[in-house]
Amino acid sequence: MAQSKQKIIVVGNGMVGHKFIESLVTHEDASQYSITTFSEEPRLAYDRVQLSAYFSGSTVDDLMLTTPSYYDEHGVRYLVNEKVIGIDKDAKTITTSSGLVEPYDTLILATGSFPFVPPIPGKDQDHCLVYRTIEDLEAITASAAESEVGVVVGGGLLGLECANALHNLKLTSHVVEFAPQLMAVQIDEGGGALLRQKIEALGVSVHTGKNTSEIVAGTERRYRMNFADGSHLETDMIVFSAGIRPQDALAREFNLTLGERGGIVINDHCQTSDPSIYAIGECALWDNKIYGLVAPGYSMAKAAVAHITGGDVTFQGADMSTKLKLMGVDVGSIGDTHARTEGALTYTYFNQPEGVYKRLVVSSDQQTLLGAVLIGDTSDYGTLLPMMLEKMPLPEQPEVLILPAVEGADNALGVAALPDSAQVCSCHDVSKGDIAAAVADGACDVASLKSCTKAGTGCGGCVTMMGQVLNSELEKMGVEVNDHLCEHFAYSRQELFDIIRTKQIKTFADLIDQYGSGMGCMTCKPAVGSMLATYWNEYVLSDKHIHLQDTNDIFLANMQKDGTYSVVPRIAAGEITPQGLITLGEIGKKYDLYTKITGGQRIDFFGAQLHELPLIWQELTEAGFETGHAYGKSLRTVKSCVGSTWCRYGMLDSVSMAVLLEMRYKGLRSPHKLKMAVSGCTRECAEAQGKDIGVIATDKGWNLYVCGNGGMKPRHADLFATDLDDATLLQYIDRILMFYCRTADRLQRTSTWMDNMEGGLAYLKSVVIDDKLNIGEDLEADMARVIDTYECEWKKTLQSPERLKRFAHFINSDATDDSLAYEPDRGQNKARIASKSMAPPTDAERIPVTIAK
């Protein structure tokens, strides 16, 4: 008889509850467990860490960590809007608010926490809100629409996140903090002072040492906050973000052991006083500590799964060090930031002009790092944190760890000195050893490491260190780590692009004569051909460039598996006249082409023979159509919705903007194909947030998203800038695309380019918006040249009898290809796979790729 499954109920489907479920369903013994989860909220788990992104354009779907289909696929039963209100420990059942009674073998309490609201008279009025759930965000947005001034009560991590949200909502924003400084728990007085200075420079007023005594009606604004020192502040809305309290009411009512100040007491396995009940996350109290970060909650979930499944992982506490960006300000907090350890010594570096503050806290013998504070520059965080956690010996001059340079001293100890146990990714608890093991198993780039270890997929702060560990491990394996384009050029793609630009080189022959060796190969030739096309935008089929092109570019069409080609005319933004549709229909019918509307709002013709390509394009160009560059590493499409032209929700004219973008960038050759989209409102019908460049209209202008993609490894685009006018939007896109063309690796998509870029999105913003490298005008000038020199490659080819000679099946005959075979399918001809040799290769037939050692 089949053994019945162990019934596991998870109360709470927040980040930690979901992490427990995800860990259990992917365990090798997952089939032995039946999982049910209850969410008090109306949706499944979402990313609370990124809540503030909601106010800068991210949608609820963007924040979601899971989907019903994922749970269905793994056999997880889920109930939303269902609160668990009772536990019968003897009968091992739970009861919900709707009267549902469910039995369990093991119960997991992942109820999280709730916002602490100080007992201030007047705190329960309208427009007095908290900052915790998506519903809270919706309430804040609604209140902001009726307000001009907003106050956040609380100057800690969550409070500053909330202040950023109000700032993004265009409110005059204030932060009121009881303590004498911001982030008093995480950073020292000096760091707090600089943080305050930076935040006030952004336009947010900070009031520290303020104890709110009451909230009453205001004279100029909706409310007046009276402070104990006699001062006051008037505001239209108040958001309380003064800390959290463990959500332990259920455990309290049903007699589980609690801490003196709250929290469900757990052991190292995360078991409560009832061994069948576990508690994880912010509701749990371990060693009299509540952990208010997600990473410790994930570690608890891992320990609970291990104990349930017979593993040996335990929870031994967690380091509360953190690196984050608050309102654009880099902040790092490590260990004992206040030098409370007996005999502790400190080193401080303060660069006021640059807005950088760094403090080291070391042991009395100066041998061990106890803590650190980093404001304005957190580049040392990845080195300092493992040094503190692993108690690594300090250099003879500890100050070199935070000083820009000390003559004769080695500032960078490097990742090679770190032990395998050093944590690289705190979000997913990935160590240096985990990454080393993944590299040994064949993960030889950052993207692969993210996929197999999940490191870098949380907050993203560890990506730089991941890359350093990757290179270090490859070197240990005997793999030469270099960025040379190929054996013929001892330069990276970026270096070669700079050489082409600065030395004004226009041909492959000149480049390899002066900076390379040999005759070139199928790696460097197309790459250099693409760079030359990007910078000079000359005709790719000219005598000096044609030998650099691959098959698709040589014939200006995509070769299909049966040897025929596709024809894809440009239909900018998907906008086409009825006459244009008629023309395309007549051409498709005349040449008996398989016809399909693509996901990018274009029309594909399939089945064109080589000799037919000039004939088809002659008719297309005469009708006003241009090449759609479907064959090139270049801009493919700019998708659009109908926007304000027709849609009752449209905020701006998305079609006109999409046409403008497509016609502006249609001649740009790039390291990889590019796709764009423009949506007329946040309903996002054009799916702009999945594109290399995505533009979404709001009531204040355009929001710009960058570096997303679909494909085998989909990536959501990141919000780059908000509320842009047309001119600024185009300026930013010009700079982003040309910077990408200059600095990306060969065949590297924008998403991978930015993920692998040191500093990531923040660095890209500094280059494009702040012009950190002072190259903004150069990038714009390069793009202007591309725009000004555009010509349709097919139109030019049709004017050259010499080039048209290439479009023949045989060099000594006008015969056509009579070996093609078709079969009818839904009213059109479809290519028939005549033999196994024409079918896509199986996995066994694919050529294995290895790294030479």
pLDDT digits (tens, 9 = 90+) for 508-520: 999 999 999 888 8
Q: Quickly tell me which residue has 């309380």 as its tokens.
A: 240
Alpha helices in 265-400 (DSSP H): 294-308, 381-389
Of 39, 76, 95, 81, nearest in space to 16 by CA: 39
Question: Is the pLDDT reported for residue 823 higher than 80?
Answer: no
Enter the tokens of residue 15: 């980040």
Residue 464 confidence (pLDDT): 66
Same domain? 637 vs 778: yes
> Would you list which residues are annotated within the binding site?
641, 647, 681, 685
pLDDT digits (tens, 9 = 90+) for 400-414: 888 875 433 444 456
Q: Which of 152, 144, 131 is nearest to 225 (CA)?
A: 152
Q: Which residues contact 521 (CB under 8 A, 6 or more apart)?
A: 486, 487, 488
The three-class DSSP label of residue 809 is coil
CA–CA distances in Å: residue 587 to residues 420, 591, 669, 821: 64, 6, 28, 21
Residue 800 lies in a domain: no
Q: Which of 356-360, 429-433, 467-471, 728-732 has the highest mean pLDDT?
A: 728-732
Q: Is 237 helix (H, G, I), strand (E, B) or coil?
A: strand
CB half-sphere exposure, 178, CA atoms < 13 A: 13
Considering the domain boundaries, does residue 805 fall inside one?
Answer: no
Give the Cα separation of 599 and 602 in Å (integer): 7
Interval 323-342: pLDDT, tens: 877 776 888 899 999 999 99
Starting at the edge strand found earlier in the chain, the sheet holding 369-375 runs 322-326, 329-335, 369-375, 356-362, 345-351
* Amino acid occupying residue 36: T
How much is the pLDDT for 738? 95
Q: Is residue 152 one of the residues assigned to a domain?
A: yes
pLDDT bucket at 809, cuts 50 / 70 / 90? low
Per-residue confidence band for 265, with pLDDT thresholds at 50, 70 and 90: very high
Angstrom distance (rounded) from CA 748 to CA 730: 23
Alpha-carbon distance 332 to 557, whole Å?
52
The reply to whether 693 and 670 lie within a common domain is yes
Q: What is d(CA 590, CA 569) in angstroms, rounded to the nearest whole number?
A: 16
Kindly list the distances between the CA atom of residue 154 and the CA atoms of 197, 211, 277, 619, in Å, as whole numbers in the listed order. 17, 11, 34, 68
DSSP state of 821: -
Output the domain CATH number for residue 443: 1.10.10.1100
Rg (CA), the chain: 30
d(CA 78, CA 65) in angstroms, rounded, equals: 14
Do residues 541 and 557 both lie within one domain? Answer: no
Please check whether residues 147 and 266 belong to one and the same domain.
no
CA–CA separation, 553 and 633 (whole Å): 9
Both 430 and 541 in one domain: the answer is: no
Residue 168: what pLDDT? 82
Q: How confident is the model at residue 483 (pLDDT cuts 50, 70, 90)?
A: low
Distances in Å between the Cα of 137 and the Cα atoms of 10, 51, 115, 842 are 25, 8, 14, 49
User: Between vectors from CA 730 to CA 724 and to CA 736, what angle results, nearest 5°?
Assistant: 100
Same domain for 520 and 559, yes or no, is: no
DSSP 752-787: HHHHHSTTHHHHHHHHHTS-TTS-HHHHHHHHHHHH
Are residue 651 and residue 536 in the same domain, yes or no? no
d(C-alpha 269, C-alpha 304), whole Å: 6
Q: What are phi and psi of 493, to 5 degrees?
A: -60, -40
Single residue among 208, 242, 276 that ends a domain in this structure: 242
Q: How far apart are CA 760 and CA 284, in angstroms?
A: 35
Cα gap 546→387, rounded to integer Å = 55
Token digits for 718? 């990141």
Pick from 398-412, 700-714, 837-851: least confident: 837-851
Between helices 134-144 and 157-168, what is the axis angle to 10°?
40
| 338, 345 Cβ separation under 8 angstroms | no
- State the pairing for strand pair 84-88/93-96: antiparallel
Same domain assignment for residues 301 and 336: no
Other C-beta atoms within 10 Å of 593: how many? 23
Look at residue 67 in the predicted model and tell me its pLDDT: 92
Task: Scan for tokens 């609970």, then name that residue.
Answer: 304
Q: What is the CATH number of the domain that holds 763?
A: 3.30.413.10
Q: Provide the domain limits for residue 431.
A: 414-478
Average the pLDDT over each of 234-243, 589-598, 824-833 and give the range with the smallest value. Answer: 824-833
- Average the pLDDT over 8-16 and give the result: 96
Return d(Cα 352, Cα 446) in angstroms, integer.
35
CB 299 within 8 A of CB 429: yes
33-39 and 77-80: which strand pairing? parallel
Number of domains in the chain: 7
Q: What is the 3-state secondary structure (H, E, C) of 590-624?
A: HCCCEEEECCCCCEEEEEECCCHHHHHHHHHHHCC
Q: What is the mean pLDDT of the segment spanning 350-377?
A: 91
Mean pLDDT across 145-159 = 92
Q: Are residues 555 and 669 in the same domain?
A: no
Within a domain: residue 262? yes
Cβ–Cβ under 8 Å, residues 104 and 94: yes
Q: Distance between CA atoms of 745 and 531, rounded to whole angstroms? A: 11
Q: How far apart are the first and last CA of the chain?
A: 54
Tokens describing residue 691: 């594109």
pLDDT band at 659 (very low <50, low <70, confident <90, very high): very high
Using the structure block, give the residue that is written with the tokens 């549709």: 581
Q: Tell me what pLDDT residue 822 has.
A: 74
Its pTM stands at 0.57
The answer to whether residue 552 scores a pLDDT higher than 60 is: yes
* Annotated binding-site positions for [4Fe-4S] cluster: 641, 647, 681, 685
Q: Quick check: 602 pLDDT over 80?
A: yes
Q: Does residue 52 or residue 580 have the better pLDDT?
A: 580
Q: What residues form DSSP beta bridges with 718?
A: 706
Q: Domain boundary at 272, 289, 308, which?
A: 308
DSSP 8-state code for residue 675? E
Q: Assess whether 755 and 644 both reside in one domain.
A: yes
In a domain, 797, yes or no: no
E strands in 318-465: 322-326, 329-335, 345-351, 356-362, 369-375, 423-425, 430-431
pLDDT at 378 over 90: no
In a domain, 122, yes or no: no
Phi and psi based region of residue 131 (left: phi greater than 0; alpha: psi -120 to 50; beta: remaining): beta
Q: Give the model confidence (pLDDT) of 278-323 as tens digits.
A: 999 999 999 999 998 888 999 999 999 999 999 999 999 988 888 8
Contact predicate 607/551, CB 8 Å: no
Annotated binding site for siroheme: 685
* Angle of the 654-665 helix axis to the 776-788 helix axis, nearest 10: 80
Task: Give the tens place of pLDDT for each residue, 421-470.
Answer: 777 777 777 888 888 888 888 887 777 788 788 887 766 667 767 777 88
H/E segment holding residue 20:
helix 15-25
Q: Is residue 483 part of a domain?
A: no
User: Looking at the DSSP assignment, which residues form a beta bridge with residue 39?
Assistant: 80
pLDDT at residue 783, rounded to an integer: 94
Residue 192's domain is classified under what CATH number?
3.50.50.60
Is residue 745 domain-shared with residue 648, that is, in the same domain? Answer: yes
Give the pLDDT score at 374. Answer: 92
- Dihedral over Cα of 239, 240, 242, 245: its sign: negative
3-state secondary structure (DSSP) of residue 574 = helix
List the helix and strand counts (H, then E) for the chain.
Answer: 26, 38
Percent of the chain with pLDDT over 90: 53
Given 223, 242, 261, which residue is the final one in a domain?
A: 242
Query: In 3D, which of 601, 575, 675, 602 has the Cα closest to residue 634?
Result: 675
Contact 272, 279 (CB under 8 A): yes
Token pair, residue 377, equals 């520059």
* Residue carrying the six token digits 């005469």: 622
Same domain, 752 and 703: yes
Distance CA 130, CA 5 (A): 41
- Reading the block at residue 86, the tokens are 């009772």
CB-based contact 493:485 (threshold 8 Å): yes
Question: Rounded CA gap, 35 and 46, in Å?
Answer: 19
* H or E segment to which residue 650 belongs: none
Entry field: residues in the chain = 853
Task: Give the torsion sign (CA, 411, 415, 416, 418).
Answer: positive
Residue 577 lies in a domain: yes
Structure tokens at 561: 């598996």
Q: What is the DSSP string of 104-150?
A: -SEEEE---EEE-----TTTTSTTEEE-SSHHHHHHHHHHHTT-SEE
